[in-house]
């Protein structure tokens, strides 16, 4: 007819961790008033939209261009210069690992050193290592913290400019 099971867990209630408020997404930084150009390569439209909103909130004068796969990202990189590329690891046609390797080896010299920030929900250590080895400047796991994302972006852009 059926079974009934029960168990007891010795847990204690905890307060929820603090959440970043929307207006705390980014503190005014050295480059917050600049017109930066970002390329967001991600196959999920919601992820591209979220990244676009975070970037435009932090850098209101910025231009954000989206690409739904690596091949389209390369097409955009051949058309115009970008200050930073946000690259998803898992995409159709050409994934983020292949695309990053192509950027580092096949694009013209001016764009080969564009900062590439990898974004992925994949926590497999071997995949992350392959992604980094393709030429990433840094990687951030999804879901990302907007404050941490903006801090990393600013550091990568400033590092490129000082090199």
Question: Which tens digit of pLDDT belongs to each residue from 90-125?
Answer: 999 999 999 999 999 999 887 899 999 999 999 899
Tens of pLDDT along 116-134?
999 999 989 999 999 999 9
Q: 94 with 74: CB under 8 angstroms?
A: yes
- Which alpha helices (H) appear in the chain, and where do they start and end? 45-58, 70-79, 96-106, 109-112, 125-133, 146-162
Looking at the chain, the whole-number percentage of residues with pLDDT higher than 70 is 91
Nearest to 82 by CA among 49, 50, 59: 59
> What does pLDDT average to over the chain?
89
Cα dist from 114 to 79, 136, 156, whole Å:
14, 10, 9
Is the confidence at residue 4, as pLDDT, over 80?
yes
Per-residue confidence band for 21, with pLDDT thresholds at 50, 70 and 90: very low
CB-based burial, 128-143: b 16+ in 10 Å, e otherwise:
beebeebbbbebbeee
Q: How many CA atoms lie within 13 A of 78 on its CB side?
A: 10
**pLDDT in the model for residue 132:** 95
Q: Does residue 28 register a pLDDT over 60?
A: no
Cβ 84 vs Cβ 55: under 8 Å? no
């Amino acid at each position: 007819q059926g079974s009934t099971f029960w168990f007891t867990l010795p847990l204690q209630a905890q307060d929820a961790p603090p959440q970043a408020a929307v207006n705390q997404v980014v503190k005014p930084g050295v480059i917050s008033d600049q017109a930066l150009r970002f390329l967001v390569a991600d196959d999920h439209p919601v992820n591209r939209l979220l990244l676009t909103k975070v970037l435009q909130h932090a850098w209101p004068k910025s231009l954000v261009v989206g690409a739904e796969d690596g091949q389209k990202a390369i097409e955009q990189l051949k058309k115009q210069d970008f200050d930073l590329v946000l690259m998803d690891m898992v995409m159709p046609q050409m994934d983020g690992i292949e695309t990053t390797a192509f950027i580092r080896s096949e694009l013209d010299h001016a764009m080969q050193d564009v900062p590439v920030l990898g974004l992925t929900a994949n926590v497999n250590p071997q995949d992350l290592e392959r992604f980094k080895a393709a030429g990433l400047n840094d990687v951030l796991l999804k879901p990302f913290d907007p404050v941490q994302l903006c801090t990393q972006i600013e550091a990568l852009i400033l590092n490129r400019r000082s090199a």
